[in-house]
Amino acid sequence: MKTLLLLLSMCIGAVATAQAQLEVTLNKAVFMPGDSILFEARYAPWVTSKYNATLNVWMEDVDHKAVWKMRYPMLAGVAAADILLPDGMPANNYALYFSVQDDFFSVKGTVVSPYKDKAIRVTVLLGEEQLLADNISLDEQRSFEMKKMLFADRAKFFFAPVKTNRTNDLQVDLQVTLDSNFQAIDDTLIMIQIGEMTQAKPNSYRFDPEALFANSSGTLKTVEVMGKKKTPAEKFEEGHVSGMFRTTDAYGFDGTESNQFIGWINILEWMKGRVAGLNIQPVGNGFDYKATWQGGETFFF
């Protein structure tokens, strides 16, 4: 009997060790509205590797009234971030559920419309400034998979034919695997308190990840992808304007499809007051002009 108990204890210890793979630490256990929840998650089997995955963080109040879902990159088995709590966060007990997903952000797709080329052009706008562009190869089924990407905030993806045509129409079906249901490699649950609790609540909370998945699954009712046909001015700019003038500070004025220039003696007179920071004044006999941009001298080409 003693031997049996010893073996049983050893087995329980082995199981506990095998399951304790995901370790999460918080900066504290009680928070106030406006505080930041700082966490670090470490998945032991990947800490010494170069493997990248995704850490899902779901926060739910114990009354099952509100759920927040967040996602962070787990690089070499480690993910660290801070969650800023709003000033109006209701005082309550909350559950923080951390789960490791064996996947990383990437975009898969298939060109549905008739298309003969072996690649498509993909442009990614990160935030409002940084642009990345590349040609992505297609297989025999006109399918493709982009490289795994890491970025903060938002990103916009634009797909176009490699060789421009009259319409540039391209119908593409896209899939982001991170948004699909998944089986967590490992997970852990941590209870925290936010705000001052006048009365302690009984610890009867039960976390149900399947219910949360069920609430978030489904099909979008309507998704409209809008395209904009290029104007003659945009086509002219694309073919004749060099790269040094294609910046976020550039202004374009189109007189090919309107009469906005009619009645002005020259383009400089028309531009007065139309560009913030641009000051145009006549000098000498009135046929010469001096232009300054935000107080500094500027030139026209």
Together in a domain, 66 and 129: no
In a domain, 290, yes or no: yes
Which of 1-15, 96-110, 151-165 is the least confident region? 1-15
Query: Is the Cβ–Cβ distance between 22 and 43 less than 8 Å?
Result: yes
- In this predicted model, what pLDDT tens digit does every residue of 252-262 receive, in sequence order? 666 666 666 66
Q: How many domains does the chain have?
A: 3
Together in a domain, 252 and 268: yes
Whole-number mean pLDDT of the chain? Answer: 76
Rounded Cα distance, 53 and 151, in Å:
14
CATH code for the domain in which residue 87 is found: 2.60.40.1930
Together in a domain, 193 and 236: no
Does 14 score more than 60 pLDDT?
no
| Per-residue pLDDT, 160 | 83
Together in a domain, 72 and 210: yes
Together in a domain, 163 and 37: no
Look up residue 31 and give its two tokens: 């928070």
214: pLDDT confidence band, cut at 50, 70 and 90? low
Does 103 score more than 50 pLDDT?
yes
Neighbours of 227 (CB within 10 A): 9
- In this predicted model, what pLDDT tens digit does every residue of 192-210 receive, in sequence order? 999 998 776 666 777 776 6
Domain span at residue 292 reads: 232-297
| Per-residue pLDDT, 255 | 66
In a domain, 206, yes or no: yes
Rounded Cα distance, 89 and 178, in Å:
28
Does 6 score more than 60 pLDDT?
no
Together in a domain, 143 and 27: no
Together in a domain, 164 and 192: no
Together in a domain, 198 and 255: no
Together in a domain, 163 and 146: yes
In a domain, 223, yes or no: no
In a domain, 28, yes or no: yes
Percentage of the chain modeled with pLDDT above 70? 65
Which of 66-75, 92-101, 241-250 is the least confident region? 241-250
32: pLDDT confidence band, cut at 50, 70 and 90? very high
| Per-residue pLDDT, 260 | 67
Together in a domain, 66 and 205: yes
Q: What is the mean pLDDT of residues 276-288?
A: 74
In a domain, 13, yes or no: no
Element (H, E) at 270: helix 267-271
Together in a domain, 114 and 89: no
Rounded Cα distance, 245 and 249, in Å:
9
In a domain, 82, yes or no: yes
| Spacing of C-alpha 35 from chain mean position | 24
In a domain, 243, yes or no: yes
Together in a domain, 71 and 194: yes
